[in-house]
Amino acid sequence: MAPWRRFTITLLGTAVLLLTGFVALAYLVDPYDTGRSPLVTKPGVRPQGPRTANASRGRDQAFNAMIVGNSHIQLIAPERLKKLTGFDFVQLATPASGAKEHLSLIDWFLRHRKETPKAIVVSIDDFWCTSDPDLPNDKPFPFWLYSADPWEYVRGLVRFNVLEETSRRIGYLFGAAAERARPDGYWDYEPEYIGLGYTTDPAVRQRLEQKPYANALRYDHDPKPAERQFPAVARLRELAARLPEETALLLVMPPVYSNTLPPHGTEQAFLLHACKAAAMGVQEAHARTAVVDWLVDRPEIHAPELFFDVSHYRQPIAKAIEADIAEALRQVR
């Protein structure tokens, strides 16, 4: 055999062995605490973003209820909801995520319940109103991490960021004083927004006064009724039909600032109305379903001091939504 051929075979064989060894190590170390490793028993993960940390939180048996969505539902606090409902909520909100990600997280949470979950709270925003069956979102998300297919998970481990996280995971597992990410997933972004000038910077505050629909055409009927298909809501309805009868399903439509609410008669208003109607229809698939609709014209959405920007509200609104969630849960119990 020619020397170059032996070298090539040796090089490829070494690479395969190293890759196999790394994947085996990553599987056993379980860098994101998915519960797949037969060796790791230490709970939780080190502080990190919710895209990966939620794999650990979503399987934590300390929680019998969940909240899922993006930053539009992030301020809903598990501790406050527990005081109102008695349920142990985990906050699985993931900033800049859409319906496809949320459905994946719901599936992960349900697959890991040893007891019937008490409640699932889902944020229904404009991401759920897409007509694209692929449910696109421009931000990456580790679907492989939450997959029910073990081989998809193994293939997902072949990533440079997994290599980095594996070494950090070892430090977390063997570090007696290693910091653990907050188990319930809550993150109060108010201090960060305030620090960035969202309450004091005139240029930032001025954005609230922009009127995106000022020149929108008005119609006396829906101009595109045949196009109002919402595959994300359809998938949620299918999921709802499979939920245990005892599990409450709460669909929360978070508010936007008044100038962002589409005016009556515009195409955007017809789209919103159709999407809401589809979401309301989920109640037909699961008896213990309720809708908490804050995506309407109400006094709070006209108060600029209650918003950081057009779609991110502040704590007073969050607490009011929590009260409505608790009341809706009481009604469907």
Q: What is the pLDDT of residue 114?
A: 96
Q: What is the pLDDT of residue 7?
A: 52
Q: What is the pLDDT of residue 6?
A: 65
Q: Name, in order, each residue with C-beta under 8 angstroms of 221's C-beta and a sequence gap of 6 or more.
A: none
Taking 70 as the pLDDT cut, the residues of the chain under it are 1-2, 4-19, 21-22
Helix, strand and coil in the chain, % to nearest 5: 50, 10, 45
Domain coordinates in residue numbering, the chain: 45-144+181-332
Q: CB count, 10 Å around CB of 107?
A: 15
Backbone angles phi, psi at 97, to 5 degrees: -110, 165
Instruction: Encode 171-240 in three state secondary structure.
Output: HHHHCCCCCCCCCCCCCCCHHHHHHCCCCCCHHHHHHHHCCCCCCCCECCCCCCHHHCCCHHHHHHHHHH
Q: What is the pLDDT of residue 40?
A: 85
pTM score of the predicted model: 0.93
Q: pLDDT tens across 162-179, in order?
A: 999 999 999 999 988 899
Q: What is the pLDDT of residue 19?
A: 56
Length of the chain: 333
CA pair distance 209, 3, nearest whole angstrom: 73
Q: What is the pLDDT of residue 189?
A: 95
CATH number belonging to domain 45-144+181-332: 3.40.50.1110
CA pair distance 250, 291, nearest whole angstrom: 6
Q: What is the pLDDT of residue 11?
A: 55
